[in-house]
Amino acid sequence: MTKTTFDLIVVGGGPGGYVAAIRGAQLGMSVALVERAELGGICLNWGCIPTKALLHSATVLRACREAAHYGVTGAGEARPDLAAMVARSRKVAGRLGQGVAHLMKKNGVTVFGASAKLAGAGKLALDSGATLSAPHIVLATGARARELPALPVGERIWAYRQALVPADLPKSLLVVGAGAIGAEFASFYRAVGAEVTLIDMTADILPQEDAEISQLARKAFEKQGIRVLTQCAVKASSATATGVKVVLDQQGKQSELEVERVIVAAGIVGNVENLGLERTRVKVEKTHIVTDGLCRTAEPGVYAIGDVAGAPWLAHKASHEAVLCVEAIAGKPAHPIDPLRIPACTYSYPQVASIGMTEARAREHAKQNGGEIRVGKFTFAGNGKAIAMGEDQGLVKTVFDAKTGELLGAHIIHPEASELITGYGVAASLEATEEDLMHTVFAHPTLSETLHESVLSAFGRALHA
């Protein structure tokens, strides 16, 4: 007979949910994981992982086309095989999904393939008819793409799922939303040959990033042939014989654009429906569950982590919350996560990565507190490894508290930005000052030397600028 009583039940098997289940098992709890679809969640199956597989295919294609520049002949005629790229990305996602299943078995986690809703104190009702019970229930149900009334998803208007498995390459494409997801799809489809228009309602692409970095990203995108329109929205759409006609409104000026396909990447909404929350004290604001610093909701014994619990909507934030939430449940020392110490990465070409405050936010913060900031910048054009790689375009920018030397923010634009940002993440977590960073020895020749030089620049000591 299947066990139905546990110490901990997790609802949702994404990067928050499955990590919570593993950590609970490591701490000696009996754990159940309820997942209605695929282990690994959207991130592993339809988000983070398959998009990175496609983007890496684009990187390989780009390298082949530019091979002659590096003294390699015969690769310049490289062409994309879209079907093979998609098949590889699905294979990568499938392999990792199997890995999560193995981890559940290895850690003794009981997995239920079902939907679940709260059914009273410490109880979950599954749509399979079973009822599970536990004193602690963690909701990790994630989020889904926001729908736009003017752009109903279908054969020609895609959300991320359809965009990840195209049957054919569209000759022309409109990407609505220039955040991380939109920027990544724009980069991929442009690399494989589509004519891409990228629009956003805000004044900049990647609007959550530092303004200077966003402007550099826009220039890089436009140099690749991506048409970028900001302060622009879709007012209406209609099907044509070959695609979709959209009406664009850019600061009150309307125009029409006809494309073969549209990708909607206009944000997300939390999966809070059909969880039985209406019969509890759990509070929901703007489609996200309200929690405290230890992921507790207003309902005793019910917790929420990851995308369903609000911004930032990042897999690594979900995993970190999973660990601190379960450790707090187990009575271990746990500390609320500091949003300013969570790195954000966009895997477009070039990549953009950041942690902490933007320069504008840091200046405002300093002004309100009677302080000052120091800003350092170093371009990859001054870095030997970047020049050797042929990737010498980009910038590292650091922001410090002028008095205390605290690292307030760091921002990078470069094809390897996502790998570099963790250096600043470690520094912020250890509360390293500018002096600590300046005295750190960075290996030569490496891209990471740019991190050092940017810090030196903030205090007038850059060596290679």
Tell me the fold of 350-459.
Enolase-like; domain 1 (3.30.390)
CA separation for the pair 220, 195 (Å, rounded): 15
User: How many residues does the structure list for the chain?
Assistant: 465
Q: Are the CB atoms for 150 and 237 separated by under 8 Å?
A: yes
Report the 10 Å Cβ neighbour count for 413. 28
Would the annotation count 87 as a binding residue? no
Q: Is 68 annotated to bind ligand?
A: no
Annotate 238-277 with DSSP letters as a single string. EE-SSSEEEEEEETTEEEEEEESEEEE---EEE--TTSSG
The residue from 439, 444, 452, 464 that is catalytic is: 444
Q: Is 182 annotated as a binding residue?
A: yes
The tokens for 142 are 């994630």
| CA atoms 88, 89, 94, 96: torsion sign | positive
* pLDDT one digit per residue (tens) for the chain, 465 residues: 578 999 999 999 999 999 999 999 999 999 999 999 999 998 899 999 999 999 999 999 999 999 998 999 887 688 999 999 999 999 999 999 999 999 999 999 999 999 999 999 999 999 999 999 999 999 999 999 999 999 999 999 999 999 999 999 999 999 999 999 999 999 999 999 999 999 999 999 999 999 999 999 999 999 999 999 999 999 999 999 999 999 999 999 999 999 999 999 998 999 999 999 999 999 999 999 999 999 999 999 999 999 999 999 999 999 999 999 999 999 999 999 999 999 999 999 999 999 999 999 999 999 999 999 999 999 999 999 999 999 999 999 999 999 999 999 999 999 999 999 999 999 999 999 999 999 999 999 999 999 999 999 999 999 998
Q: Is 179 annotated as a binding residue?
A: yes
What pLDDT, on a 0 to 100 scale, did the predictor assign at position 76? 67
Active site (annotated) includes residue 136: no
Among residues 391, 345, 343, 394, which one has the least CA distance to residue 52?
345
Give the span between the Cα atoms of 34 and 275, in whole angstroms: 12
What is the rounded CA–CA span in Å between residue 424 and residue 396? 11
Tell me: is residue 392 an annotated ligand-binding position.
Answer: no
Dist CA 322 CA 11 (whole Å): 12
User: Is 3.20.20.80 the CATH classification of the domain at 157-266?
Assistant: no
Asked if the domains 8-145+269-339 and 350-459 are classified in one and the same CATH topology, the answer is no
Per-residue pLDDT, 465: 83
pLDDT score of 1: 57
* Cβ–Cβ < 8 Å for 453, 462: yes
Pair of tokens at residue 424: 């600043």
The SS3 assignment for 388 reads: helix
Q: What region does 132 belong to: left with phi over 0, alpha with psi -120 to 50, or beta?
A: beta
Decide if domain 8-145+269-339 falls under CATH 3.40.50.2300: no
What is the β-pairing status of strands 110-112 and 31-34?
parallel
Q: What is the β-pairing status of strands 407-414 and 395-401?
A: antiparallel
47 is in an annotated binding site: no
Check residue 244 and give its pLDDT.
96
* Cβ-proximal residues to 9 (8 Å cutoff; 6+ apart), any chain: 31, 32, 33, 34, 124, 132, 134, 136, 137, 138
52 is in an annotated binding site: yes
Residue 150 assigned as binding residue: no
Domain definitions of the chain by residue range: 8-145+269-339, 157-266, 350-459
